[in-house]
Amino acid sequence: MITTIAFDADDTLWHTERIFISTKDKYKQLLADYHDGDWIERHLDETETNNIKHFGYGIKGFTLSMIETACELSEGRITGDKIKQIIEFAREMIAAPIEVLEGVRETIEELSKDYRLMVITKGDLLDQETKLARSGLGDYFDGFEIVPRKDAKIYKYVMRRHALSPEEFLMVGNSLKSDILPVIEAGARAVFVPYETEWFHERVTDEELIGKKFGRIEKMSELSDWLKNEENRI
Amino acid sequence: MITTIAFDADDTLWHTERIFISTKDKYKQLLADYHDGDWIERHLDETETNNIKHFGYGIKGFTLSMIETACELSEGRITGDKIKQIIEFAREMIAAPIEVLEGVRETIEELSKDYRLMVITKGDLLDQETKLARSGLGDYFDGFEIVPRKDAKIYKYVMRRHALSPEEFLMVGNSLKSDILPVIEAGARAVFVPYETEWFHERVTDEELIGKKFGRIEKMSELSDWLKNEENRI
């Protein structure tokens, strides 16, 4: 029976992708003299994909990719002032107000009465910690785990660390690749809550989903009902 | 009685400052057309200090500071190629071979037979995790904690998380500010192992040390003897 519910953070509890999307828009405007927006975005995505193994996830790595792409697309003609503006984008992203997703606060508050709640997220520790604090949700969570990646081994490690059996663990998140499939592989249950946009690093193929059993809700406020269904819970 | 020994990582278990120092040298050469080395270093240190609250510790934040300083010191005239070289410095730093400090491996191996060993470190999770793996020391440690800062509250939290009383906890590290003073404040014991250079962010005044009781060894290989002294251990 489920005793513990773990939530992904970015785009599950609060909006993150929006901040990246609006930063990308500003970035494309900044470089509009050199190339059109689509071309810039395609190159930025490529640089980001190549850099993830060096720089990991998060705003700082993304910023280094923006700078690198700017140097490349301008064939080295980018000005120092524009580079400084890109660094300013990073500071703005880090300081951006946290917008909690609709229905999240009420759901978390309600579930915290009956379940142990945790956050399991990738990203920079400092960044995620201040986001949790600024979200005002911090007090509802008993555990906060920043993980370098989300695979079955990591989920098993987190469960072991909190002395949880897979039967009592439920993961909730917006990424099939990170929040759902590896949790099923680790023997626990998962509920998928799609976000308004899908992150291109996190796509999975239909084949990977064949035979995989997991819950799916359209928004967080449906989670309480999902848990009231005894078939899901026990 | 001490049951658990936690180690700082950077410049306690393996060299890190050396990599930053040699990168700073390359950086000063790269910008030699604009200013002399001392001037560059002073400005970089300033930018870094200002940026730590935004970007935290670690290579990515340091790189953003190098880029920002380069834009400022060149009055915007820095070229895209030089910026790309700075990003390349970051990739080199992240991939740099891990040099374990003298005597560390033997000491860790020996102590792991009688004590539970942990690592408590600041920095990027991905970065620190791959360093621990590449150091070849990973198997000796039962716990690996990446913390956003090192104050008494964090040490208390880590002890609680591992169900440790302050009496059984010993911290070993090269920073009086991060590894020694807050641990004493948290009621536990600490041993200081100075590194060959002191990091300017981590300096403490003599006043802060008045009345503080902690161990001091000159190199890691002296730790076993320090622990054999019953007065230190119990």
B151 to chain A: which residues are within 8 Å by CB?
A: none
Is A96 in CB contact (< 8 Å) with chain B? no
Same domain as A106, residue A169: yes
Average pLDDT, rounded, for chain A: 92
Q: Can you tell me whether residue A36 is helix, strand or coil?
A: coil
Reported confidence tier of residue B226, pLDDT bands at 50, 70, 90: very high
pLDDT digits (tens, 9 = 90+) for A81-91: 999 999 999 99
Same domain as B121, residue B75: no
Please tell me which residue, A75 or A140, carries the higher pLDDT value. A140
Q: Identify the pLDDT of residue A211.
A: 87
**Looking at the 3D structure of chain A, how many domains does it have?**
2
Reported confidence tier of residue A225, pLDDT bands at 50, 70, 90: very high
Q: Do B63 and A61 touch (CB under 8 A)?
A: no
Can you tell me the distance from the alpha carbon of A97 to that of B55, in angstroms, rounded to the nearest whole number? 17
The percentage of residues in chain B with a pLDDT greater than 90, rounded to a whole number, is 71
Q: Which residue of A has its CA nearest to B143?
A: A161
A146 to chain B: which residues are within 8 Å by CB?
A: 125, 146
Q: Identify the pLDDT of residue A183.
A: 98
Q: Do A83 and B71 touch (CB under 8 A)?
A: yes
Would the pLDDT of A14 be above 70? yes
**Which of A45, A77, A95 lies at the terminal end of a domain, its last residue?**
A95
Same domain as A134, residue A121: yes
Among residues B111, B174, B70, B225, the alpha carbon closest in space to that of A78 is found at B70
Q: Do B76 and A80 touch (CB under 8 A)?
A: yes
Same domain as A190, residue A117: yes
A84 to chain B: which residues are within 8 Å by CB?
A: 68, 71-72, 76
Reported confidence tier of residue B234, pLDDT bands at 50, 70, 90: low
Same domain as A215, residue A132: yes
**Which of A51, A72, A95 lies at the terminal end of a domain, its last residue?**
A95
Would the pLDDT of A234 be above 70? no
Same domain as B27, residue B110: no
Neighbours of B152 (CB within 10 A): 15
Q: Can you tell me whether residue B194 is helix, strand or coil?
A: coil
pLDDT digits (tens, 9 = 90+) for A126-179: 778 888 988 999 999 988 888 878 999 999 989 988 889 999 999 999 999 999
Q: Do B90 and A61 touch (CB under 8 A)?
A: no
Would the pLDDT of B20 be above 70? yes
Same domain as A129, residue A177: yes
B138 to chain A: which residues are within 8 Å by CB?
A: none
Q: Identify the pLDDT of residue A150.
A: 93
The percentage of residues in chain A with a pLDDT greater than 70, rounded to a whole number, is 98
Would the pLDDT of B138 be above 80? yes
Q: In this predicted structure, which of A7-16, B109-118, B173-182, B225-234 has the lowest mean pLDDT?
A: B225-234
Can you tell me the distance from the alpha carbon of A80 to that of B74, in angstroms, rounded to the nearest whole number? 8
Reported confidence tier of residue B219, pLDDT bands at 50, 70, 90: very high
pLDDT digits (tens, 9 = 90+) for B192-205: 999 987 766 677 88
Tracing tokens 């005044």 back to the chain, one arrives at B205
Mutate to test the interface with B, among A60, A121, A161, A162 (most CBs of B within 10 A): A60
The CATH number that applies at residue B116 is 3.40.50.1000
B131 to chain A: which residues are within 8 Å by CB?
A: none
- In angstroms, the separation between the Cα of residue B54 and the nearest Cα of chain A is 6
Same domain as A151, residue A82: no
Same domain as A87, residue A114: no
Can you tell me the distance from the alpha carbon of A59 to that of A47, in angstroms, rounded to the nearest whole number? 14
Which residue range forms the structural domain that includes residue B108? 4-15+99-233
A95 to chain B: which residues are within 8 Å by CB?
A: 54
Same domain as A139, residue A63: no
pLDDT digits (tens, 9 = 90+) for B122-135: 877 777 888 898 99
Q: Which residue of B has its CA nearest to A157?
A: B143
The CATH number that applies at residue B90 is 1.10.150.240
Can you tell me the distance from the alpha carbon of B207 to that of B204, in angstroms, rounded to the nearest whole number? 8
Same domain as B187, residue B120: yes
The percentage of residues in chain A with a pLDDT greater than 90, rounded to a whole number, is 71
Same domain as A209, residue A168: yes
- In angstroms, the separation between the Cα of residue B161 and the nearest Cα of chain A is 9
**Which of A95, A113, A146 lies at the terminal end of a domain, its last residue?**
A95
The percentage of residues in chain B with a pLDDT greater than 70, rounded to a whole number, is 98
